[in-house]
Structure 1
Amino acid sequence: MIVDDEPMQIQGLLRHIAWEKLGYESPLTAESGEEALALLETTPVDVLITDVSMPGMTGIELLAKCRSDYPHLQSLQTVIVSGFDEFEFVQEAIHLGAKAYVLKPVKTEELEQKLASFRSSIEQKDRIEREMESLKEKMTESLDMLQDRFANDLIEGRAQSGEMIDSWRRLLELPGGDWRIRLYVFAYDRLQDSARHDAARRIWLSDALLRAVKTGLSGFEHAYVGRTGADEAAVLHLNAPPSERARIEKQFPFVQEVVRESSGESVTVGVSRECGGPGEVPTLYKEVKHMMTRGRMAGAGHIHYFDRAEASDYREFALKEEEIPEIVRLFEEGDADRAKARVHLAFDSLETRPELSFSYVQAFAMGLISELARRIPRTADKGGEFNVRSWQRLLDCANLREVRETTLEALSRYRQLEDKEQDQQRHHLIHQVASFLEERLREPVTVKQLAERFQLNPSYLSVLFKKETGKTISEFVQEARLGKAKRLLQDPNVKVYEVAEQVGFQTTAYFSFLFKKATGVTPQEFRDYHYGE
């Protein structure tokens, strides 16, 4: 599509560009941004060529509208055409996703080169999409691959949403309604030295274990096998009645024997408790792995069943080894609400454990606070005051309720210290960015270059800058340029074109245009007024 308010410009491009030879259909045309949008809503367009300066909606505004309001136009290849050789236009166009920028009068050869490049990019994108569709079809045909991915998605907690579960139901024809899930884990014990240091041997052993598990458990409805590690396989068993569970568990010694005869290696099997939904599967896996690790102390090649004693032991382990790191991680990611909810769950669990001493409860709270205190910068917590005061208050607590309240108060204090330190760091960083920009007003510094220099994501830097200064980076640069220009214009010995150059404008015309737009007077009128004073 070609968009230009001058019909002669459109006709010139239609006549002089070898559209068919370049692989394009005859272009659509529009003489305004509004007309172009109406066409783009209903007609598929791969390449947009638009003039910048048009009455009503400019080419830049048209491109911004396409990006913000029309998801199907996100991959649109855009050429911006303008009579102004201005960095500001180029910068804004590229920021909005324009792929090329050409000046009037348009050179046919230059535009044809860009169109040929676009054509190549579009063909490559189409080829990738076709290959992805082909891959999806192959994946659907491979039941083993789907089962493997399904098992891993549940164990790693990636299949939590209803939409994801429904998609797996369709792909694997899983049972409807709620699920009762049991997990079986098969894992090699201590591998022989020859296997640990031989990559080919490790791969062979991994495949051998997976084959043995699939062979031994074949024929059982709703049993899904996946490889969960180089030395491990897992089976998810859905809605199995007691009789089928008994039959499948009788196959475990068979699997162990097949592996032992083929490889000389022993395999330990872990059997989980039954849970009531996909959301609990990651916990099932952790419980079974913990049980198997402890069980190996009594010897290799056994079958272990998760029971109440194991559950009690695992909860104590999880509180120390898993809950504290997870709570700290949530706080570090800025998710304080979820972190506090996790703390409440931990204390709820402690309340149901009458066998645990009150000293254990205090030790858990002190361990959590100490782990957080280690992450507070010294500037925010001089002399470790946070840690010392929190510990003293915990030692003065008389019951679990007081420990819970004291811990939550300490977490709130920690969040305040973190926020204060981050605010100071952000303020210092943006001050550095602003100073850097003010020192280089003559240079066309892009957001990407700024982000690379200060080691930040470009989008995050833009958001941070706006939040701290109340202005976008472009607005800040333009205000800084105009501010410096005002100071220079008060010196009658500096020519207007010299002022434009010193503040980073490539042409005096564009400098005068922006200056008048911002101040209401031309640079010369501004100078005359102040010189008269």
Structure 2
Amino acid sequence: MEKLKVIVVDDEPRILKRMIRMVEEQGEVWEIIGAFSDGKEVMEGIEEQSLTFDLLLTDVQMPEITGLQLINQLKDKMSFESIIISGFDDFIFLQSAIKEGVSNYLLKPVHRDQLKEVLQQTQKKIEAKRIEENEKQKLQRKAKELDYTKQVYYLSQLQEKDFSTEDKLKWHQFLGNGSFRLLYFSIDQNIKKTWSDNYSAWLKQANEDILSSLKNALEEWSSSSHIRNWLWRDDLFSIWLLIEQKENDQLHTETEAFLDFWKENVRHGSKNTVTIAVGKDITSIVEFLDNRKKLENIMQNRMIYGCNKVFWLEQLPETNEESKKHSSEIIKSIQQLLFSLENEEKKEVIVFLDEYFNKLQLIRSASILEEAVQLLGIRIVNRWVELEGFGEERILFREVISLTKNTSNFYQLKDKIKSWVLSVMERIQEAKRTNKNPIQKAKDYIQAHLGESITIKLIAQQVYMSPTYFSVYFKEQTGETILDYITKTRLKKATELLETTDLKIYDIAVQLGYQDTKYFSRLFRQWYGYTPSQYREAHLRR
């Protein structure tokens, strides 16, 4: 059992010693942490020693500050139980003491049995208060954790140039109007091994250890610097961190020192390394998405300058157009590769891919390097579209683009591109068999899961597309974003429930996946011009 801390105050030394002895006789649960001869000493001692206590046992009549004055002053600063001791029995005085929040009242001379009974009653009060406070703190922690989870989920689901009105509202609801900085951690696959089950298992565990290490280091740093932060993983190799910028001239230096220190710890503690890209200050959802795209692009610098580095977006010069002396040779390699693919000459494909990468290594610009990889993807996909008449080409193109995002050296890039090129034909055929009418299938899934957490990733899985490609494809086919469609469908269902049922607004919100009734009402009003209650009233008057 946690001990109950007691402060005893009496201006008569003999009585003070006796009260301390009598309290200690009541068992080890009571711990005397301070003994003072008057109220002024108590105030000074608490401030100097930063004392916290559960029970104040004090005489009433004392010089400088009386017992009741002491209790009254301390109540403004902390929570505790109090017992006063007086040499006279005065009902009016007792009433005044109770108003000041005194727990109990003892007359001198205090008898052991009397004190024992009062302390037992006080102990029950203190322990009940502790239980109540612990439950309150537990609920507050859970609420805070839930809010954090919602915020991280929101940030991880934001799509470039495809955010809705709801997303804009949530940005200010979750993050406020402060300034932030986005960081992108990409785990370097700097071990020259071909993909296998054993290598994949090892890599997954190593990456989990790196993520855990970052969480621990970040918790220590943010608590000491009082910085709000949001951490989430995009995929096996990519970790994102958003930190709130404070008015601190040293924050840039502190961030740099933290990243260098943690990065070196990872290098020494594992067989892998991490490259980090740091964005500029941002204040809006638009700047957030713009920074994210730029950080993904500058991460490709590691294929030129090496891994285990920190690239600061604000310190990188704008890339000038590189000499195009290698362009014709690269295009020639791609054309030869296309010819080999059409003729299904696997050996020739591999030869021309190797030639392509040999020429690519001469480029010293990360952005131009990425453009050359994209050109390869465009030419291959478009050629197969011509040959097969297949319209779902973007999923394959975006897939080849993503290879550079999670690749830290040419060895891996060559290995992955080779695998992708050789499997293009089979994957297109598979997609043709499985992906019938994806838009309707997606809408059916949304209708069936309105009350659940609907993510773009989950919907995309139903139609065998990547989340990014599906978002673009849905908007091209329907004229609206997938997020706006989800919101519109939910709110349309809300109007039906408001018109045909007596359900409370809260119950309707929860039934449609909104846990925050105020947010649901605000969103409803933005779409329909009425709050849910006003809409129901207007419908009943018709």
Give the alignment's TM-score, normalised by structure 1: 0.34
Structure with higher RCO (Cα < 8 A, 6+ apart): 2
